[in-house]
Amino acid sequence: MQIRPILAALRRHRVAAFLIGMEIALACAILCNALFLISARIDTMQVSSGVDEDRLVVVSLDGVDDNAAADLAARLRSGLAGIAGVQSVAVTNAVPFGQQAGEAGFRLRADDPHYDNQGHFYVGGPALPSTLGLQLAEGRWFTPDEFGPISEFLPRSPSIMLDSEYARTLWPGESPLGKTVYAIDKAFRVVGTYRSLLRPNPNPGHTHNTLLLAGIPGKGLASVYVLRTAPGKADQVLQAARALVARVAPAVVVNQDYTDTISGLRRSYFAADRAMAGMLVGVIAALLLVTALGIVGLASFWVQQRRKQIGVRRALGATRGDILRYFQTENFLIVSFGIALGMVLAFGLNLVLMSRYELPRLPLFYLPAGALLLWVLGQLAVLAPALRAAAVPPVVATRSV
């Protein structure tokens, strides 16, 4: 198949070819970025929390103060621990996919005037690591004498633990044990790291930048009770826990949005991401449909216009396969022009999204993926008009002059 006659024909129809090429370029730019956004959302939704999600129930209460209502808090913990199927109960300030309650900046040098690092500080009592199912990565857990009440935002204990993956980003190639973290007006010494603990509000840029402090949430903090259940008992325990709180502390406000199983909190947290991913899939489907219809319409129009040309070529010995390849090659050239321009537009659109919405840079492998999809779409869209052109008998095509 010679390309020069096809290019000459396209030059005679440059406006229509250019418009289709621009449509494909726009489709390529949107398609590559939409696929990237969908992939990023799916990766975020599949992030590991680091806890035993299917065995954890969270009861989030407002208005519970261990200092002012120690008896009530003790009765709540005792009552929750007595529910059938509950293996342990811990109190904390937050949980993965729950309400954010400990976000703060910190620094790694005492003489640094800026808090360049940002993380979520989990605060919990002695039972929290085992209740959540955390695994020790390096160092040790807190000792009993390190736990105490919280003064303002942070506990008085000088010990701190970090997510092991996050610790490696803070001190690359070094052991974090013995390092110092400075937060607000306090200095904390790293005594250990745990394998994984997700922050309450994970996003593509921040997932496991978490720190764990030894303290018992009380004054100034909403109380979050975490219940570790026997396998398969989480939903049953959740209902029983709601009933117990209503009976033992009727005046306490139960935060319904954050009282659920961890699995339920995950579903709720990522509901918007699932909706956005579904919307982007719909946008891609609509975009590909419009692009395909544009290719089909243009190819059908050109087949109708070129009936004489097709008849002459058939009379000169061109086979149906030659006619079919002609239209497919022509379409391939138009689509390739649109894809080349679309790749440039894809990067431009990604730069806008990066500056406006803090999205990461578009990985290069999305460009060939989008190009391949559009090439396949273009060949499938032009196939029906090309087959109709190849099926026209030479005599009929000649008489249509």
Residue 122 has pLDDT above 80, yes or no: yes
Same domain, 243 and 315: no
Same domain, 97 and 18: no
Same domain, 76 and 206: yes
Same domain, 39 and 73: no
Least-confidence region, from 89-103, 213-227, 283-297: 213-227
On whether residue 262 sits in a domain, the answer given is no
Average confidence (pLDDT) over 193-200? 96
On whether residue 198 sits in a domain, the answer given is yes
Nearest to 222 by CA among 107, 342, 102, 117: 102
Least-confidence region, from 135-139, 215-219, 355-359: 215-219
Q: Determine the 3-state secondary structure of 318 from DSSP.
A: coil
pLDDT for 401: 47
State the Cα–Cα distance between residues 32 and 40, nearest whole angstrom: 12
Q: Please give the model's pTM, rounded to 2 decimal places.
A: 0.80
State the Cα–Cα distance between residues 265 and 261, nearest whole angstrom: 6
Residue 216 has pLDDT above 80, yes or no: no
Same domain, 69 and 137: yes
Least-confidence region, from 43-52, 61-70, 88-97, 202-211: 61-70
Mean model confidence pLDDT for the chain:
87
State the Cα–Cα distance between residues 25 and 294, nearest whole angstrom: 13
Residue 1 has pLDDT above 70, yes or no: no
Chain centre to alpha carbon of residue 124? 28
**Domain end marker among 218, 251, 284:** 251
pLDDT for 90: 93
| Token pair listed for 67 | 């200092």
Same domain, 40 and 72: no
State the Cα–Cα distance between residues 53 and 159, nearest whole angstrom: 27
The sign of the dihedral angle between the CA atoms of 170, 171, 177, 180 is: negative
Same domain, 326 and 218: no
On whether residue 259 sits in a domain, the answer given is no
On whether residue 287 sits in a domain, the answer given is yes
pLDDT for 198: 96
**Domain end marker among 251, 284, 305:** 251
Q: Are 23 and 16 in contact (CB under 8 A)?
A: no
Same domain, 225 and 319: no
pLDDT for 143: 92
Same domain, 282 and 239: no
**Domain end marker among 191, 217, 251:** 251
**For the chain, what percent of residues have pLDDT higher than 70?**
93
pLDDT for 116: 87
**pLDDT, greater one: 394 or 108:** 108
State the Cα–Cα distance between residues 271 and 288, nearest whole angstrom: 26
| Contacting residues for 245 by C-beta, under 8 A, at least 6 apart | 59, 61, 76, 252, 254
pLDDT for 320: 82
**pLDDT, greater one: 69 or 212:** 212
Q: How confident is the model at residue 396 (pLDDT cuts 50, 70, 90)?
A: low
Residue 217 has pLDDT above 80, yes or no: no
On whether residue 261 sits in a domain, the answer given is no
Helices (H), 118-163: 128-132
Same domain, 162 and 298: no
Average confidence (pLDDT) over 231-248? 94
State the Cα–Cα distance between residues 135 and 85, nearest whole angstrom: 23
pLDDT digits (tens, 9 = 90+) for 15-69: 888 888 899 999 999 999 999 989 988 888 999 999 999 999 999 988 665 555 5
State the Cα–Cα distance between residues 368 and 371, nearest whole angstrom: 5
pLDDT digits (tens, 9 = 90+) for 310-351: 777 777 777 888 888 888 888 889 999 999 999 999 988 888
Same domain, 75 and 109: yes
Count of the separate structural domains present in the chain: 2
Residue 59 dihedral angles phi and psi, to the nearest 5°: -120, 110
Q: Which domain holds residue 140?
A: 64-251
Residue 179 has pLDDT above 90, yes or no: yes
State the Cα–Cα distance between residues 123 and 348, nearest whole angstrom: 43
Q: Are 204 and 174 in contact (CB under 8 A)?
A: no
On whether residue 263 sits in a domain, the answer given is no
Same domain, 41 and 69: no
